[in-house]
Structure formats: C-alpha cells, structure tokens
A = this chain, B = another copy of it.
C-alpha cells in the first residue's frame, strides 16, 4: 500500500505567493473595474534587454539548422556561460572561482530548494526570521524541521534568527550551533544588507563550527553602497564553508526565461567528500540543463552592450525603490530597505496585522504587496513592497497610498 510523504502535511497552507495570487484573482473577479497594481511578488516588468533579445533570436536560428542544432546541454552548463560568469561575476571582483565550480541551472529558486538534498536529513537548519519561504518549506518536505507549532508559528526543530528593527534586520549568531545556515543578502524580504566584516564573522563562525552557509545572493546587482559584499567569496575562507546562489531573474529580468547558477568550490568538503561531487551527481541524475537558447541569452548580459542595458534596467527599478521608500516616509510610514535591494520593508500602520494591511491596501488602494508575516513570525506587523513595477504604476501606487 503506497503512502505519501507526510512531511508535506506539516506545511501550513499553500506556498505564500500562490495564496496571494489566489486572493488577488478573487478580488479582481469581484471588482472587474479595479485597476490593480501589483507590487507584491518580486516579478520584473521591464522587457528583456535588446542584447538578450538579439542573442535569443540568433540561438533560435541555430536550433533550426542541422549543423548548428544543439541537443542535451552539458550537465553543468555550457562552457561559454560558465566562463563569462567566472570572469565577470567573480574574477572582476577578485574572487577566485573557476568555471568548473559553477553549475548553471533554471533558477536560484530551484537550486535553493533542492540543495538541502545533499545534506543529512538530521541536519539542523538556521534561517532568518523573516525569511524567503523556500528555504524552510523545502526542508519541511525533507523532514528536517519537526512539527509546526501553530501558536508560535514556527517549526519546532528549526533555528530561527530574528531580524528586527532592533538589530537592524541583521541575524545574530544563534545559541544552538546549526549545521546549515541560510543567509540572503541583499535580503529578501527586508532589503537589508550585511557589511563585509559582518559576513566575514559568519564565515569564521561556519568554519569554526563545521557548518555550511547557503548564501543566496540573488539581489547582488542592486547593491549601490561600498563595503557591501557582492559575493560571500569576498570573505577569507568562504571556499571551505559556503555555497552561493545567483539568479538572472532580478539581475537581467529573466523571471520568465529561467536562468541561475550555483557555486560550490572544490575546497568545500564534509566527511572527506566534496559537496561539488554530490551536487554534480544530483544535477546529472535529476536535471537536464537549462535550454541552450537561454544560456546564450545569459551570456549576452556579459557583453559591453548587454552590461550597459541591464545596468539601465537596474537603475530604473532602483529609482522606483527610491520613490516608494521616500513616498512612504513622506506619508508618515516607517520604511527601510530599497537602497541596495529592490525591496522596501514597511511597518504596518495603526497596529494592523500584515494580512489586515494586505486586505486594506488591496481594497482601498488596489495595490498588492506581500504580508511580512508570510515570511515568518517576526515579519508580523510588516509589509513588503517591490520596486519591480513600471514607473507609471509605481507612481500611481504611491499616489494612492498617500491619499489613504
């Protein structure tokens, strides 16, 4: 008699963004006249850069000719892309990462969700609170988190590291030493960053305790200030304790194109086994590579032309971030983030809960955001807005919020 993986039943409700999507669809159906502005899910709105479009067309042409057609991609990704990544994203900032240490994939979400598989099921994980739900949910499914305590809104066996106004939304070393530490900087959802010195502290902590840091750097392209590290490999010793995830989704608007990568240094071993080998085995067994045409599109963002175009896109979104942050402050709200990240983290007004404010904003301003509590109990009383809308919609949303 077949049985289900009962760990799935521990998950409270559906995936956060599926729930939001459903609520918005229902509201829209009931209010067909409402012009809803979506600043909730972190989805981009600007079209792909001309250099990316040109690369896609060109690669599509290759796929239509017998002599240039490409079938299965190499397990770890095409060399042309891995080399561009190693040179530009790492070599340029003085990090020694080789193409062989880079695994190309269809996105950082998939990699962040799947990486836990290569670790023992008894591993103790530590996450920030609030946190991107994928880190926790994927470990729930694997049976690493224990039961959900509905009162505490926490899984019993997860180590939560509160990120609050008091500590500047920066996690502190937990009392109990974790095996796996999920860190995300610039942070989703708070938009907070970490200094190079503070990140070095985490690297030292991990190396000292034999922990592995799973470092999500999906938003590094949005960093505007000095002394904010773009990669964890800027820290000494990170190559023996850290895996890094990167995404083309936010860097170059690839949310609908799907491309990301994971770095696992050859020097990162546990029990004498290279984690690189384990992930390569997983990649080879359960994955079949990102599409050739998409890998060519990814390569295009590293050309001078592509570079310039996506820098323009990021500047566009960061101008939105500024409009939101300053608009909120002018309207009397408390807001942070939005300087090195496309996310603005605001306090809900009048003691409203996150979901109450979600409903309030949807109904009274027709603006969709993300309830902070959806990212963890310490997100209660907070609300996330994203800078990924169009300028027009961002301006309209702020105008509506100002007049609430």
At the interface, yes or no: A270 with Cβ under 8 Å from chain B? yes
B71 touches A8 (CB 8 A): no
At the interface, yes or no: A263 with Cβ under 8 Å from chain B? no
Count of residues in A whose CB is under 8 Å from the partner chain: 86
Task: Compute how far the CA of A211 lies from the CA of B63 in the bound complex, rounded to whole angstroms.
Answer: 42
Q: Which residue of B lies closest to A62 (CB)?
A: B47
At the interface, yes or no: A18 with Cβ under 8 Å from chain B? yes
- Chain A 270-329 interface residues, beta-carbon cutoff 8 Å to B: 270-271, 273, 275, 278, 281-282, 284-294
Query: Chain A 110-146 against B: per-residue CB contact (8 Å), 1 yes, 0 no?
Result: 1001100111111100000000011001100101000
B285 touches A4 (CB 8 A): no
- Chain A 201-217 interface residues, beta-carbon cutoff 8 Å to B: 209-212
Q: Which residue of B lies closest to A247 (CB)?
A: B288
At the interface, yes or no: A95 with Cβ under 8 Å from chain B? no
- Chain A 77-136 interface residues, beta-carbon cutoff 8 Å to B: 106-107, 109-110, 113-114, 117-123, 133-134
At the interface, yes or no: A73 with Cβ under 8 Å from chain B? yes
As for how many copies of this chain the complex holds, the number is 2
- Report chain B residues within 8 Å CB of A75: 15, 18
A15-B285, A281-B8, A285-B113 are contacts. A69–B57 as well, Cβ < 8 Å? no
Q: Which residue of B lies closest to A120 (CB)?
A: B3
Our pick among B57, B271, B284 for the contact of A4 (Cβ within 8 Å) is: B271
- Report chain B residues within 8 Å CB of A50: 64
Our pick among B253, B281, B286 for the contact of A110 (Cβ within 8 Å) is: B286
Among the 9-residue stretches A38-46, A152-160, A227-235, the one with 4 or more Cβ atoms under 8 Å from chain B is A38-46
Our pick among B15, B48, B253, B287 for the contact of A109 (Cβ within 8 Å) is: B287
Our pick among B56, B110, B285 for the contact of A137 (Cβ within 8 Å) is: B285
Task: Compute how far the CA of A68 lies from the CA of B122 in the bound complex, rounded to whole angstroms.
Answer: 46
At the interface, yes or no: A401 with Cβ under 8 Å from chain B? no
- Report chain B residues within 8 Å CB of A9: 273
A5 touches B138 (CB 8 A): no
Our pick among B1, B56, B71 for the contact of A45 (Cβ within 8 Å) is: B71
A118 touches B48 (CB 8 A): no
At the interface, yes or no: A378 with Cβ under 8 Å from chain B? no
Q: Which residue of B lies closest to A259 (CB)?
A: B291
At the interface, yes or no: A66 with Cβ under 8 Å from chain B? yes
Our pick among B68, B71, B121, B256 for the contact of A44 (Cβ within 8 Å) is: B71
Q: Which residue of B lies closest to A11 (CB)?
A: B281
- Chain A 3-54 interface residues, beta-carbon cutoff 8 Å to B: 3-6, 8-9, 11, 14-15, 17-18, 41, 43-48, 50, 53
B123 touches A3 (CB 8 A): yes
At the interface, yes or no: A334 with Cβ under 8 Å from chain B? no
- Report chain B residues within 8 Å CB of A46: 66, 69
A110 touches B63 (CB 8 A): no
Task: Compute how far the CA of A180 lies from the CA of B50 in the bound complex, rounded to whole angstroms.
Answer: 48
Task: Compute how far the CA of A209 lies from the CA of B3 in the bound complex, rounded to whole angstroms.
Answer: 12
A107-B288, A118-B4 are contacts. A47–B18 as well, Cβ < 8 Å? no
A/B interface sample: 21 pairs, CB < 8 A: A1-B179, A1-B209, A2-B119, A2-B210, A4-B273, A5-B120, A14-B281, A44-B71, A45-B66, A47-B64, A56-B56, A60-B60, A63-B257, A66-B390, A69-B256, A71-B255, A71-B256, A109-B288, A114-B286, A291-B294, A293-B293
- Besides A53-B64, A56-B293, A141-B285, 17 other CB < 8 A contacts? A2-B210, A4-B118, A5-B278, A8-B118, A15-B281, A45-B66, A46-B66, A48-B69, A56-B56, A63-B257, A109-B286, A110-B286, A141-B281, A255-B288, A256-B292, A258-B288, A258-B291
